[in-house]
Chain A
Amino acid sequence: MLKTLLNKIFGRVIWALPFIIALPMQSFAQAEQTGNEATSITFPSNSAQAWLAKMSHAVKSLNYSISFVLLKPGVDAQPYLWRHGVNEEGLEMEQLNLLNGPGREVVRIGNKVSYFEPNVPPYSLQSSIINGPFPSELFLRPEKLLLGYEFIMVGRSRISGRAAQQIRIISKDKSRFGLNVWLDQETGLLLKMNLIGQESQLLEQIQVTGLQVTKEPDPFFAKIEPGMLPDVVNFSPSSAIDSPWTINYLPKGMTIVKRDLRRLSGSGEVVEYIMLSDGLVDISVYMQESNNNKPQSNLVGTVQTDTLLTIQHGELNITIIGKLPAATANAIAKSIQRVN
């Protein structure tokens, strides 16, 4: 009964052994060529980590042009063009362009990201990633996700006409949504990404429709004049605030990346703001002492893929927004307490 299954698994492992042994040699040979990347590849080369390391290296070092479509429930499909190039001096250049409507254009030259959007004067940020529709940190530092997520090799399939390796990314404590990622077998670049809810329902999807890897960077990048890009906006570093509140529960791998007091631009109300991040999702927590004149009911719902939870908890009105299950948002909100 079960024996046949076990036999088969062992049979395949033995069959695959020569490959498992042969592959690291190959990757070492490659690593020596690339030099400085060798230190980061320490996993067996056919593991999910190795695949994500390969992706991360490809995203940073190749000249590519990718067309993809972002799909969210209840919203029109959003087509994007994503180009990346490295010039002779080793400077990274990246462009992300929303192709429908008035558009949204983001250009990154090294550590300066410039945003050109309708209704907002153009501005630049000092950052090494574009804040786009995909989790950029996953591409650049997949190892950072290991704190809170598990990487699982699933299998191969065909995506966008190319052979693809599927990898599943699941939160270790099952407190966040999972991710299914398909990577190009040849280059390691992303071909498809599904955000999966806890009942395995599809929440958001990125589907690559065209992928070109070229020797030279796209001629588009030669036309950019770095001097013409808008100035960098400097936010005054938020001084450490002395808050009477503390969050006692954070999902595994999630940390507080930002905390300040801010006046909301819409209503002028002052709230305490905390941003939580695990490298894959960013979550906003707003805290406000509740006011008897403004009673509010507890609400939970989803806005596109973001979960929104607003509850009255003790003396506080707490609102949490982000791509996380409502139960987790509730657990975070309920764990907020006054420090004695």
Chain B
Amino acid sequence: MSQKFEDLSALVDGEHSEQPSSSSRVLNAVKNDAELQQKWKSYHLIRDGLRQELPANINFDIADKVAQALESEPEILAPKRTWRDLPLVAQVIPFTKQGGQMAIAASVAVAMIIGVQQLNQPDVNQPFNAAPPIPGIQGGLSPVSFDQTRAVPNSDGVEQRRRINTFLIDHKQQLRFKTTQLIDDETSLLQQTIEKEEAQSDLVENTPQ
């Protein structure tokens, strides 16, 4: 009785590989034994738990739930045989269904191309032909008149995209110029933040979860 659990447990742990014949014997036993199948589930669950590999949401018994849902489904009466049931036509119909999906996919692609084209267009409604600011430029070469030209109503999406780009570039720069000293001032910095946090926690009580 306990020997078969022991065998199964060893198999789950990957420690049962001495003879391939014995592991296939255990697998056959699992196939024919509902109790062992239950064990199989729980051993794997225990192993995942011990290794902290459990996913955020655990869906137990998806197969069982699907089977239950199918059973509780109202019964559909078999329709009369129509021309659709002829083998040749039955094969054609899936193609038309696929065609529909292709059309959807194609329209998405077109939408994306239009979106990209709009993005790449220079700002037409600028009053004068200022050189467009290049977001990727290094070293703060921003045009002086930038803020004035912004006053002209502009497409918000483009504007925001450009701002996000600036943030991304700045983030990369910050990481690049980050310096770390192994010995000095690290502890003092930590100390500062802790003090600051303590000061903050006095002020406000509500912290998000």
* A binding-site residues for B, Cβ under 8 Å: 1, 3-5, 8, 111, 115, 119-120, 125-129, 131, 136-137, 140-141, 152, 154, 168, 170, 198-200, 233, 235, 246-250, 255-258, 262-269, 273, 275, 282, 284, 286, 293-297, 299, 303, 306, 308, 310, 319, 321-322, 331, 334-335, 337, 339-340
Known interface pairs A233-B177, A266-B169, A282-B178; 16 further A-B residue pairs with C-beta atoms within 8 A, sorted by A's residue number: A4-B6, A5-B5, A127-B181, A128-B180, A256-B196, A262-B170, A265-B138, A265-B140, A265-B173, A267-B133, A267-B166, A273-B170, A282-B175, A308-B167, A321-B168, A321-B171
Q: How far is the CA of A257 from the CA of B174 in the complex (A)?
A: 12
User: Is A248 in contact with B55, judged by CB distance below 8 angstroms?
Assistant: no
Closest to A128 in B: B182
Selecting from B46-54, B63-71, B92-100, B109-117, the interface stretch reads B46-54
User: Is B209 in contact with A284, judged by CB distance below 8 angstroms?
Assistant: no
* B binding-site residues for A, Cβ under 8 Å: 2, 5-6, 9, 39, 43, 46, 51-53, 55-56, 133, 135-143, 146-147, 150-151, 156, 159-160, 162-171, 173-182, 189-190, 193-194, 196-197, 200, 203-204, 206-209
Closest to A282 in B: B175
Residues of B within 8 A of A269 (CB): 163, 166
Closest CB-CB distance, B162 to chain A, in whole Å? 7
- Evaluate whether A266 and B170 lie within 8 angstroms (CB atoms) in the complex, with A128-B181, A152-B51, A282-B175 already known: yes
Q: How far is the CA of A340 from the CA of B173 in the complex (A)?
A: 33
Q: How many A-B residue pairs have CB under 8 A?
A: 161
Contact with B137, one of A115, A262, A265 (Cβ below 8 angstroms):
A265
Closest CB-CB distance, A168 to chain B, in whole Å? 7
Closest CB-CB distance, A269 to chain B, in whole Å? 8
For B135, B143, B178, B193, the residue with the greatest tally of chain A CB atoms inside 10 Å of its CB is: B178
Residues of A within 8 A of B51 (CB): 152, 154, 168
The binding surface of chain B is classed by DSSP as helix
Closest to B136 in A: A266
Q: How far is the CA of A269 from the CA of B151 in the complex (A)?
A: 14
Contact with A248, one of B2, B133, B162, B200 (Cβ below 8 angstroms):
B200
Closest to A1 in B: B5
Q: How far is the CA of A8 from the CA of B209 in the complex (A)?
A: 40
- Evaluate whether A319 and B2 lie within 8 angstroms (CB atoms) in the complex, with A127-B179, A265-B139 already known: no
User: Is A294 in contact with B189, judged by CB distance below 8 angstroms?
Assistant: no
Contact with A296, one of B39, B156, B197 (Cβ below 8 angstroms):
B156
Residues of A within 8 A of B143 (CB): 268
Q: How far is the CA of A297 from the CA of B193 in the complex (A)?
A: 32
User: Is B146 in contact with A268, judged by CB distance below 8 angstroms?
Assistant: yes
Contact with B170, one of A115, A137, A264, A294 (Cβ below 8 angstroms):
A264
Q: How far is the CA of A275 from the CA of B141 in the complex (A)?
A: 24
Residues of A within 8 A of B166 (CB): 264-267, 269
Residues of A within 8 A of B169 (CB): 265-266
User: Is B159 in contact with A170, judged by CB distance below 8 angstroms?
Assistant: no
Residues of B within 8 A of A294 (CB): 150, 156, 159
